[in-house]
Amino acid sequence: MTRVYVGMSGGVDSSLTAALLVEQGYDVTGVYMKNWTQDLPGMRCPWADDLADAKRVAVQLGIDFKVYDFEREYKQKVVDYMIDEYRAGRTPNPDIMCNQEVKFKLFLESALDDGADMIATGHYARVRDGVLLQAVDANKDQTYFLYRVTGEALQKTLFPLGEYTKPEVRRMAEERGLYTANKKDSQGICFVGKIGIREFLGQYITQVPGNIIDKTTGKVLGRHDGAIFYTLGQRHGLDLGGGLPFYVVGKDMDKNEVYVSTNLNDETMWRNTLTLHSVHWINDAPADGDYQMRIRHRAPLVSVGIAKNDDGSVTLSLPDAQRAATPGQSVVLYDGDVCLGGGIIA
């Protein structure tokens, strides 16, 4: 009998994942990954509640249950990475790094060392012979967050929810009487819950006020708490008031200045070519040519030309200019349903 360790977060998705695998005849063990337990001002970390919910479901299903403590590695690999990227003026995606370094590396290695044959998670994605495919539910598809996982890891991974829509998952959980069937989905950063990124970063980064400057006129329009907190295309949180809305069109980290404009067609906001660094291919690198890309989670797939460079970077040619392609964020590349990999915007 195949032994599968299921990452159980205390949510409905991972709960149903475990239930389905039990029904399919696997020898299932539930594992809660203790990644983050720190409370923040005005925000209690819900990890203990989530752990209790995961345990309850494991008891319901009659499966073994373990806790893996990854808190030290998580801080180093995910949280510190995110803080360093923001300090450099970029906008990272910690969920992607969590999947790369923790769930499909640390968890996988720990589970295999513990006697598992495979792991499973509640991600909305499909895998076939180590190839990552988009989920049936296009609205919930999470391949964007999984593009840095290796083909070798996917050979040892099951994604039972990839064939279902979110409403179907809720219904199936209710039919099985799972304790978490009606639990709300978690929001916000993967490890911080409902707190905003600015509040989180404020615990680690000294706020240094600076000027908000109209890019067109050079006029100082207001003040900000730190250029680090602003991202390209951002509209909210500028507190400039009145008239047409302003958008962030650039920033100078050395001068701690944020540049804004009311011009939606500002050339810094629209890009016809992009360079990706830290490129990762899930399996073999594709031939140069025409594919599809997703510039952020839930963004529509758009056509793109891929050209690989000798230094390992990739140049993307976009038939339709893309707005607010922000340095530090990921572009994920597809060939139809197949997620090829991707890279980080330079």
Told to judge if 98 belongs to the known catalytic residues of this protein, a careful annotator would answer: yes
CA dist., res. 68 & res. 50, Å (int) = 14
- Taken in order 179, 108, 120, 3, the sign of the CA dihedral is negative
- Taken in order 147, 76, 328, 289, the sign of the CA dihedral is negative
3-7 and 27-34 beta bridge pairing: parallel
Select from 160, 177, 156, 165 the least CA-distant residue to 112.
Answer: 156
Which of 12, 83, 98, 232 is labelled catalytic? Answer: 98
Select from 167, 172, 96, 100 the least CA-distant residue to 136.
Answer: 167
Question: Both tokens of residue 333?
Answer: 């590349």
- The answer for residues whose C-beta is within 8 angstroms of residue 267's C-beta and 6 or more apart is none
Question: Both tokens of residue 318?
Answer: 């976009």
Cβ atoms within 10 Å of 249's Cβ, excluding its own: 23
210-214 and 314-323 beta bridge pairing: unpaired
Residue owning tokens 């995110």: 82
Q: Are 122 and 172 in contact (CB under 8 A)?
A: no
DSSP string, 122-167: --S-EEETTEEE--S-TTT--GGGGTTS-HHHHHTEE-GGGGS-HH
Which of 33, 190, 338, 340 is labelled catalytic? Answer: 190
CA dist., res. 211 & res. 29, Å (int) = 54
Cβ atoms within 10 Å of 252's Cβ, excluding its own: 13
Told to judge if 190 belongs to the known catalytic residues of this protein, a careful annotator would answer: yes
Q: Catalytic site residues?
A: 98, 190
